[in-house]
Structure 1
Amino acid sequence: MSSPEMVDYIRTMIRGDHEANDRIEARLDEIGWDGFPTLLGAVFYFAVNRRFDERTVPGEIMRFVADMRASTPAGTPEIDANAAERLIRAAVDPGIETNIDPQMAGRVQGLVILQILGDGAISDEDLDALLVEAADLASRV
């Protein structure tokens, strides 16, 4: 079960509110991160499905991943392009096998969420609705 702090953590991450994000991260370090990977996966699912669908050609996903990797700030841990493409395709087509290292999957999910939803790409109202829907989905998994 995800906590309200986890939802706020993702919201502040997307909005680029680093001070609040650091404060919430410290709080989560105290109370625990149980359920966070499930919530992050749900937000990833909804973010990807805002940007891509089953008609998206593989080349478009490859370009998206290449652009995302090129725009990632220096010092950010490297992500595996093949893993990123496979995770994105699997969010659109649940029949695709992902078997990806959980740490790599988490890094990919975080970067994809920022790439799709960050920099003002989503209104506060739409972001809140997406986070409520993701928290609801995560609570049922």
Structure 2
Amino acid sequence: MTISPEMVEYIRTMVKGDHAANDRIEAKLDAQGWDDFPTLLGAVFYFAVNRRFGASTTAADVMVFVAEMRAAAPAGSPEIDANAAESLVRAALDPSLDLDIDPQMAGRIQGLAILHILSSPHTTDEDLDDLLANAVEAARRA
């Protein structure tokens, strides 16, 4: 598994809202290839969701989160399926759950959830660095 530094920076600039840097990194990744990016995105999603929710999370908590996430989506964002989003969040909290979600939809949900969770003013640069480092380590083991 090859997780390039550019992939990590792509996620960091996305979360930080640094659109110019994100566009530059995206162009570089378009030339290099995105082969292992879905694995990294899934790992970041897993750690972000588990950072956001505790052990006592209910189905209602997940539904409220997904509704808030969809309402806060940037203008022009692709529509995401609420049921698929709820299933994906629940599966991040309980990996024993089976999923049957279109990979493209899963990627959109993961990206939006990562933005919604990690763009919070409560996420420090150090928090983001730690989460990304954990996600890279997990993705390399996958």
Shift of 1:99: 1.3
Amino acid at match of 1:39: L
Q: Deviations over 1:94-137 (max 9, x none)?
A: 11111100000000000000010014331111111110110010
Match of 1:7 in 2: 8
Match of 2:59 in 1: 58
Q: Number of residues paired by the alignment?
A: 141
Match of 1:76 in 2: 77
In 1: Cα distance, 2:84 partner to 2:44 partner: 18
In 2: Cα distance, 1:119 partner to 1:93 partner: 24
Match of 1:89 in 2: 90
Any unmatched runs of 5+ in structure 1? none
In 1: Cα distance, 2:48 partner to 2:59 partner: 17
Shift of 1:49: 0.2
**Contact 1:15/1:120 (<8 A) preserved:** no
Match of 1:24 in 2: 25
Shift of 1:93: 0.4
Any unmatched runs of 5+ in structure 2? none
Identity among equivalent pairs (%): 66
Which 10-residue stretch deviates more, 11-20 or 116-125? 116-125
Which 10-residue stretch deviates more, 65-74 or 29-38? 65-74
In 2: Cα distance, 1:12 partner to 1:121 partner: 17
In 2: Cα distance, 1:81 partner to 1:33 partner: 26
CA RMSD across the alignment:
0.9
Q: Deviations over 1:60-112 (max 9, x none)?
A: 11011011111112211000000000000000101111110000000000000
Structure 1 runs of 4+ aligned residues shifted over 6 Å read none
SS in 2 for 1:53: coil
